[in-house]
Every structure is written in structure tokens, then in C-alpha cells.
Amino acid sequence: MFNSFKRRLPEISIYHHASSPPSAKALNLLRSSLSSAYPPNTTAVAPLEFQLDVIESPPTADQMRTILSYLPSKAISPSTAFLSAHPSAPPMGERSEDLSAIAELGQKNPLALKWPIVVDWADGKASIGDPEGVKSMLELLRKRRDGEVQNDQIEQPKGWFT
């Protein structure tokens, strides 16, 4: 009876910076997977179905904390995950590991962050600065759509609501 509450579109958010080539590539990939056959260059397949949220500002410290928990490697430091090699970013020895400081730096200087930051909230997956990570998220959605994997076969982080 209550299974209908569980059936909702996956939600993918992209924290996008228009001047970042990887961010533009990831956004184009996400949009094209919604509007045309996925995977590309196939004729018998429909587009993917998910809710896409395009956010043109950096994530908050709380969002960054959640995103860090969704990364494949749990041993990565916050500064390594979020801060770019751009000259305006702090040098390696002076980088803060405090998420509030990183979020504040991202608000003041967006070029200091790696773009895009893409999050699949339903499956607990994230990719930072890498369009290839977006492809793996889309591939998981494709496998689910095509019946190659069931929802209970997907490894998800354990949270408050699971």
C-alpha cells in the first residue's frame, strides 16, 4: 500500500560554475540524458528520468559534509575534495580542513572550488570536478531503468531515514 510513496524520480543536483569547462560538460551530459536516448548513439532506448537541479552557487558546509560522505573514497580530506589548483585557491600548506571555511571561501572566490559538484541524493553518490563521475551516476540510472539492477542491490550510505 505504501510502496507508491517510494516511487519517485531520482534527484540529481549539479553545483555549476558556467566558466568551468568540466562543469559545462557535465551539465550538457545531464541535460542530454534527459532529452534524448541514453546511452547516446543508440536508437532503441529512451531518455533517463530524473529531476535535475542546477545550482549556480557553492554548497553550504552542511551540504559539503553530506557530499563528502557520498564520495567513493572516505579517506579524502575536505580540502583535497573541494579545493581546486586554481592560483586563487590557498596553497597546499595553508588549506583549511574546516568545511565552514571552505564553504565561505567558495562563496567569496568560486574559482577556488572544483567544479562541477554533482550529487545523486537518492543513491548517495557524488562526483567533484570530474564529468566521468557523472557518467557513472547516469549508468547506474540506466541499469535501473533497463532492469539490470534492482534498488535493493545498490549500495547506499546508511543515514537517518534508511
pLDDT of 4-35, one tens digit each? 555 678 999 999 999 999 999 999 999 999 99
66 and 59 Cβ atoms separated by less than 8 Å: no
Residues 6 or more apart whose CB falls under 8 angstroms from that of 47 comprise 33, 34, 35, 36, 37, 38
pLDDT per position as a tens digit, 113-150: 999 999 999 999 999 999 999 999 999 999 998 888 87
Amino acid of residue 13 = S
| Domains by residue range for the chain, with CATH | 3-153 (3.40.30.10)
